[in-house]
Amino acid sequence: MDSRIASISTWEIFKIYSLSFLCGIWVYFKKIIAGLIKTESSSKNFRDKPPSCLVESSFGIHNYVKVRGTKFHYVESGSSQSPFLLLLHGFPDCWLSWRYQIPELSKYFRVVAVDLKGFGDSDKPVKSKSYSIDVILEELKELITSFGQSKCTVMAHDLGALLTWHFVHKYPDMVEKLILISTPHPNLYWDNLPSQSNLNLSWLCFLQIPRLPEADALKDDLKIINNWHSHLQEKDVFLDAYKYTFSRPEDWIGPFNYFRNLPFIRICDISRQIENMTLLVVGGKDRVVSLESIVKSSEFCEKFVVKIVDGCGHFPHQENHQVFNNTVINFLKVKRPIEKNLERSPSKSLVNKMFGAVSSTVKYGNSVIDSVQKRTNGVVGNIPTLAFSLTQFPGVATKSNIS
């Protein structure tokens, strides 16, 4: 394992597997009582024909690249002469996650939206070790270089953003800028799972059981897809596309294997902050991750902006794509701030650090402030004073040029 990565304690590992064992007994007991101790894939689950949105070329050119023996599917759009922008989706998702970003961002960038290993049309290795962080990061490194790039901007959501946090810690020189959506830093993510989240500790423990979660995911016509993509309507064509993508037990093996590896590791080389310019985006109503953990994640970044998309849940790039796209375009066009012109308080507290960069992006309506204060236990209680006092300094963007 890379020296920058450390395993969690033996006691924490024991606790997770003990809960997994108890969870497995309970689930099997319920199935026995219900007479359903079998793979629950009804005829509804068999979707032989992909929806047109998954195969048509309106979003870009579909292609494949092989990296370290793994075949990756991707969709590419935009001029090959434009700056390179790599898009990494989350869980349970695929390249289609970026359906509202590809048409817009390809006007400015060479956009490549990848199916992560185990997802979509990319290869789906069965062995859990194929999804270890060391293997994944080396593949991402070679994936970038396979496109002729030594450095690029990465935009990632959820699981893709978790991998990107790890990647930028290991290969900071390969990343120009970062846009991380709905995802705290890995050292905060696993210890701050909301109890009411789709991804809570109970479900995480359940995923450690072999085979059963893959079969369970197919029940009730893939109800898990409805639960995660609750922002989509029941008859939505994209919801049907996701159900096609995850319609077989083997479609879940890879995605679940990430969750059988990532929760057991932390980044230990955090003495140096991430120096790459970073945009942290989160929906104001996200129930999958805590807003407090997103705010605290800024402690790992030297230069960052935080954007709270009001009224959105875990998929702000889909739920309010106009606001999201404008934020991203403006962020990527902004020149790096001239650090020597920024007056900073001697204190390195979270709030002082955060609003040197965030003042121009977060909207400070009373409802947003009240919501943020409640969900962060008052961590950002002094937003208005700090935010507006910092706009006087050169190098800090004003509200007029960032939407």
pLDDT of residue 24: 74
d(CA 224, CA 229): 8
Residue 373 lies inside a defined structural domain of this protein = no
Length of the chain: 403
The total number of structural domains in the chain stands at 2
Which tops the pLDDT comparison, 134 or 30? 134
What's the mean per-residue pLDDT of the chain?
Answer: 82
pLDDT of residue 45: 57
For 181-221, write each residue's pLDDT tens digit: 999 999 999 999 998 888 888 899 999 999 999 999 999 99
Residue 350 lies inside a defined structural domain of this protein = yes
Q: What is the mean pLDDT of residues 174-182?
A: 98
For 7-19, write each residue's pLDDT tens digit: 878 888 888 878 8
CA-to-CA dists, residue 338 to 42, 275, 299, 356, angstroms: 59, 13, 20, 12
pLDDT of residue 165: 98
For 323-373, write each residue's pLDDT tens digit: 999 999 999 984 444 343 333 333 344 433 443 344 334 433 333 333 343
Q: Residues 97, 99, 105, CA angle at the centre, nearest 5°?
A: 110
- Pair 219, 361 in one domain: no
Residue 372 lies inside a defined structural domain of this protein = no
pLDDT of residue 20: 80
- Pair 298, 392 in one domain: no
Percentage of residues of the chain with pLDDT beyond 90: 63
Residue 154 lies inside a defined structural domain of this protein = yes
- Pair 201, 287 in one domain: yes
Beta carbons of 165 and 267 less than 8 angstroms apart: yes
Structural domain containing residue 90: 1-332
- Residue 21 confidence class, pLDDT cut points 50, 70, 90: confident
Give, for 178, the enclosing helix (H) or strand (E). Answer: strand 175-181
Which tops the pLDDT comparison, 27 or 116? 116
pTM above 0.85, yes or no: no
- Pair 22, 3 in one domain: yes
At residue 131, does pLDDT exceed 70? yes
List, in sequence order, the alpha helices (H) in 186-309.
Answer: 186-189, 201-206, 212-216, 219-228, 237-245, 250-259, 291-297
Residues 6+ apart with CB under 8 A from 125: 70, 117, 118, 131, 254
At residue 389, does pLDDT exceed 60? no
Q: Which residue(s) pair with 85 in the sheet?
A: 111, 153
Residue 15 lies inside a defined structural domain of this protein = yes
Q: What is the mean pLDDT of residues 130-158?
A: 98
Could you tell me whether strands 110-114 and 152-157 are parallel, antiparallel, or unpaired per DSSP bridges?
A: unpaired
- Pair 338, 315 in one domain: no
Q: Check which CATH number belongs to the domain holding 295 and give it.
A: 3.40.50.1820
Which tops the pLDDT comparison, 375 or 278? 278
Which tops the pLDDT comparison, 379 or 32? 32
- Pair 158, 290 in one domain: yes
Q: What is the mean pLDDT of residues 158-186?
A: 98
pLDDT of residue 36: 53
Residues 6+ apart with CB under 8 A from 239: 225, 226, 229, 232, 233
- Pair 132, 212 in one domain: yes
- Pair 351, 325 in one domain: no
pLDDT of residue 38: 53
Lay out the sheet containing 277-283: strands in order across: 61-67, 70-77, 110-114, 84-88, 152-157, 175-181, 277-283, 304-309
Give, for 369, the enclosing helix (H) or strand (E). Answer: helix 366-375
d(CA 301, CA 182): 16
d(CA 75, CA 204): 31
